[in-house]
Structure 1
Amino acid sequence: MHQKALLFVLLVAGLLCVSLAPTCWAQDQNQDEDADVEDDLDLDLTGTEDDDELDGDEETPPAPKVTYKAPEPMGEHFFAESFDRGTLDGWVLSKAKKDDADEEIAKYDGKWAVEEMKDTKLPGDKGLVLKSRAKHHAISAPLLRPFTFDSMPLVIQYEVNFQSGIDCGGAYVKLLSETPGLDLDQFVDKTAYTIMFGPDKCGEDYKLHFIFRHKNPKTGQYEEKHAKKPDADLRSYFTDKKTHLYTLVVNADNSFEVLVDQTVVNSGNLLKDMTPPVNPPAEIEDPDDHKPEDWDERPKIQDPDAVKPEDWDEDAPAQIPDEDAVKPDGWLDDEAEYIGDPDAIKPDDWDEDMDGEWEAPQVPNPACESAPGCGPWKRPMIDNPSYKGKWKPPMVDNPNYQGIWKPRKIPNPDYFEDLQPFKMTPFSALGLELWSMTSDIFFDDFFITNDRNTAERWAADSWGLKKAAEGAAEKKTTPAAEYKKTDEPQPDVKEEEEDEEEEDKAEEAKSRPGGLALSLTRFCSSPSSGSVTVWFIFLQLQRTRMMKKRLLLRKRRERRRPRQKR
């Protein structure tokens, strides 16, 4: 009777489990779907995907497209050129020859073109391109009106892209001085300029020039003043094949800034940071002053009263034989360290009349291999404790010392003081006079103004678009998603898969008699058919749930795994 009652209870429990199974499955389904949605959000995915889509290649979403629009100059400006007309209208090609060059390369016959970059990221954007290598190039254009240095700053900026790299050549500009004889079609290296600015490279010497020509107020002669070398590493601007914006700002307070991509790489003051200095020294050394013959510059002299000690032995050697040394036991005095090779044979073509008497080559004596040494034994040399060397009188202060002689100072007859070097010679044209061993140097968006905000607006409408387009063309990834195109799982994916495999094992363990079913097994320990039935039903439910869980985990891994190129 007791067994029947127990069997009835177990059957009721089994039926209850079966009736609740759909509800449990629905809850599991909802939880798993929620987990899938969270995974989709973590992976920056939208919408749902079919299993077939998971098996295929995922395409990277296209980068936002940057549309080119020609910049329009706004505000006060003296020069603005974006080359969007597609022509060289307004530019003058030099017809001159260099005076100090061979006839075959003296001409400025390097070719220029207005075209897009070879690998343009911004269709429709054109620029000025230096097309020839190993040739002289010269081209220039007049300003809207001459720039006069008064109380407003000078701001000049333009873009450069070394499309094919650069071996040896420049990409600098010259601001050509306003002179009565300025003839742009005769533009050469000796044409007067006010400022030279821009990148230049030869070999491993990377430069960013800022040079201005200063007029000596006393003589009227001009002298180049060079800014100090930038502290920044300039290499990448020449090698990364990106478009870089070069800007020079010179202020009325004599301060200056050199910027690349709107970041300051050099700054200073025209009065303090130029070489040679703008102003000469007020005093100079007298060129007619000469050092007297009896001038004594020796701070120390040998003591004239010193006498060599009587026991000073100048002839004692620096080293002597060690009298305490003892010849090692087993030393082979009668054996030579090297002997003639007993296996050597005189060559058949050896001619003793021509080659001399043949001797076998020397080899180490095998008898010496186990001995401490061979040949006549000699005592080793040690430092001589009595050695003193040549005697010299000690040094003492020179009572007649007069110091290092220097010529006297006199007023500098060429002295002047220019406290406003900013007031440079006005300029009326912009020119490029270049030699390059590399072609396809791209120039664009020249702009000259006296207002920094105006220059920044021009840069935003021109270089800003290029920067955005070039940036959009680059692959945007986060460190966790930088996967290589390889069959080998990446580290972070591998870690996730290992974690999920551990979860699989845990789920599988739950379905075994030793897992979650253990409590039910203990409950159903009675050898009744009812307990076996309930245990079997529960185990089947657990296995079904585990298989579904593993299928969902496999889908997640497929979504996270990097796509392979086919």
Structure 2
Amino acid sequence: MKTWVFLALFGVALVESKVFFEERFDSPDWEKNWVQSAHKGKEFGPFKLTAGKFYGDAEKDKGIQTGQDARFYGLSSKFEPFSNKDSPLVIQFSVKHEQNIDCGGGYLKVFDCSLDQKDMHGESPYLVMFGPDICGPGTKKVHVIFNYKGENHLIKKEIRCKDDVFSHLYTLIVNPDNTYEVLIDNEKAQSGELEEDWDFLPPKKIKDPEAKKPDDWDDRPTIADPDDTKPEDWDQPEHIPDPDATKPEDWDDEMDGEWEPPMIDNPDYKGEWKPKQIDNPDYKGPWIHPEIDNPEYTPDPEIYKYDEVCSVGLDLWQVKSGTIFDNFLISNDPEEARKIGEETWGATKDAAKKMKDEQDEEERKRAEEEAKAAADAEKDEEDDDDDDLGDEDEDDLDNDLEHDEL
């Protein structure tokens, strides 16, 4: 059944809801649709199909997992090319850092048809880079990078990613009115306008190069009181000889030189004198540089648009492997993407957390039992040692008695 999406444009139009690419990794033959990069100079790690150590559904939760530490990963899939002109672009996938990742990427890239899949690498031109990136406590963010006229532009806002071991759904929506929205677990994490939150275009306004602050403009809120004078007793040395110090009895002036008392802080020292501050009667406030229209600025109503969207790929580096990627979706319908997210990631997330909690509880009990067994073994060993010492004492007593009888 077809659904329709409305465009937020002047003169409302109808567009057929389409899924351009979807991959749930629900087939053992998933590799037929993906190409492993063989770019020279990179040692690529393998992906394996798995639901991981914990899951909500052993089959539905299967995704591709990075399988080797300290490796690059390069995998991509192509689909029928399309343009998002006059239509939303929705990019969605789930990421599960089951290994409790300390440093590594969890993002995907979207390319046009020029991508050489067998040679995909970090410098391969892309259209969009989107998803979580974690490296230590300082980097835990969601990348949203767009290529505009051949240059990559990073979002100016900070979007914090999820950093736990559970699966999370990441969604990017780019609208034909040049607005965007980032969802995490189908909840809004950030939104705004493309022109404001990326440096695609020169600024609309610039400082007037002809304007300058008038010479008589006084922007000092306070000034030194001209009537304030320094007290006569103000100037005192910072350090003075210790009046309580006495020359040591064994001090020899010929051998030790002339004795001088040690210096101490002067309690009367007041520091550098400065006149008190008063309100400046000539204060005019901060001078604001006038702005003019930027002659280099030209509005672009189609910042959002890509003429050819053709492939998606994982181009990553991970220090600690174990991330599971799943539920890839590229469409033009945000509402349909939300529903698919709930049908996939949303349908199993609670059961997966329950399974993980049960595993953690079992691990806790196992650790307690092992600790108790180790403590009991140590106590038994101590008791055995005490028994051995007791036997030695009895032997010594018997020897002493025999000696006395002799």
Higher strand share: 2
**Is 2:18 the counterpart of 1:76?**
yes
CA contact under 8 A between 2:95 and 2:326: conserved in structure 1? yes
Structure with max Cα Rg: 1
Identify the residue that residue 251 of structure 1 maps to in structure 2.
Answer: 175
Identify the residue that residue 162 of structure 1 maps to in structure 2.
Answer: 97
**Is 2:148 the counterpart of 1:226?**
no
TM-score when scaled to structure 1?
0.48
Q: How many pairs align? A: 325
Give the structure, 1 or 2, with the largest relative contact order (CA under 8 Å, sep 6 or more).
2
Q: Deviations over 1:141-184 (max 9, x none)?
A: 002x2231223222221121112110101110111134xx4322
Distance, in Å, in 2 between the alignment partners of 1:228 and 1:315 is 53
**Distance change in 2, residues 1:423/1:315 (3 Å):** closer
CA contact under 8 A between 1:243 and 1:466: conserved in structure 2? no
CA contact under 8 A between 1:94 and 1:108: conserved in structure 2? no
- Which of 238, 244, 249 matches 2:163? 238
Distance, in Å, in 1 between the alignment partners of 2:163 and 2:341 is 20
- Amino acid of the structure 1 residue aligned with 2:72: H
- Amino acid of the structure 2 residue aligned with 1:313: E
Q: Describe how 1:134-213 pairs up with structure 2 within 5 A.
A: 134-143=70-79, 145-178=80-113, 181-204=114-137, 205-213=139-147
Which range moves more in the overlay, 427-436 or 129-138?
Answer: 129-138
Q: Describe how 1:7-22 pairs up with structure 2 within 5 A.
A: none
Question: 2:158 aligns to what SS in structure 1?
Answer: coil
CA contact under 8 A between 1:90 and 1:141: conserved in structure 2? yes
- Which of 261, 277, 281 matches 2:203? 281
Question: 2:163 aligns to what SS in structure 1?
Answer: helix
Which range moves more in the overlay, 198-207 or 413-422?
Answer: 413-422
Distance, in Å, in 2 between the alignment partners of 1:389 and 1:430 is 67
Unaligned runs of 5+ in 1: 1-74, 98-105, 216-220, 320-333, 337-380, 477-483, 486-566
Post-superposition offset of 1:444: 1.2
**Distance change in 2, residues 1:200/1:389 (3 Å):** closer
Q: Describe how 1:379-528 pairs up with structure 2 within 5 A.
A: 397=280, 412-467=294-349, 469-470=351-352, 473=355
- Amino acid of the structure 1 residue aligned with 2:147: R
- Alpha-carbon RMSD: 4.4
Which contiguous aligned blocks of 4+ residues in structure 1 show a shift greater than 4 angstroms? 286-292, 294-298, 300-304, 306-309, 314-319, 381-384, 387-399, 401-411
CA contact under 8 A between 1:139 and 1:433: conserved in structure 2? yes
Post-superposition offset of 1:213: 2.1
Q: Deviations over 1:336-378 (max 9, x none)?
A: 9xxxxxxxxxxxxxxxxxxxxxxxxxxxxxxxxxxxxxxxxxx
**Distance change in 2, residues 1:173/1:388 (3 Å):** closer
Identify the residue that residue 313 of structure 1 maps to in structure 2.
Answer: 232
Post-superposition offset of 1:315: 5.7
Distance, in Å, in 2 between the alignment partners of 1:395 and 1:469 is 68
Question: 2:18 aligns to what SS in structure 1?
Answer: coil
- Amino acid of the structure 1 residue aligned with 2:122: D
Post-superposition offset of 1:286: 6.1
Distance, in Å, in 2 between the alignment partners of 1:286 and 1:139 is 50
Identify the residue that residue 89 of structure 1 maps to in structure 2.
Answer: 32
Higher helix share: 1
**Distance change in 2, residues 1:286/1:177 (3 Å):** farther
Question: 1:207 aligns to what SS in structure 2?
Answer: strand
CA contact under 8 A between 1:209 and 1:227: conserved in structure 2? no
Question: 2:127 aligns to what SS in structure 1?
Answer: strand
Q: Percent of aligned positions with the same letter in both sequences?
A: 32
- Which of 117, 131, 134 matches 2:52? 117
TM-score when scaled to structure 2?
0.65
Distance, in Å, in 2 between the alignment partners of 1:390 and 1:187 is 68
Distance, in Å, in 2 between the alignment partners of 1:390 and 1:124 is 79
Distance, in Å, in 2 between the alignment partners of 1:138 and 1:289 is 53
Q: Deviations over 1:518-546 (max 9, x none)?
A: xxxxxxxxxxxxxxxxxxxxxxxxxxxxx
**Distance change in 2, residues 1:185/1:286 (3 Å):** farther
CA contact under 8 A between 1:210 and 1:227: conserved in structure 2? no
**Distance change in 2, residues 1:172/1:402 (3 Å):** same
Question: 2:340 aligns to what SS in structure 1?
Answer: helix
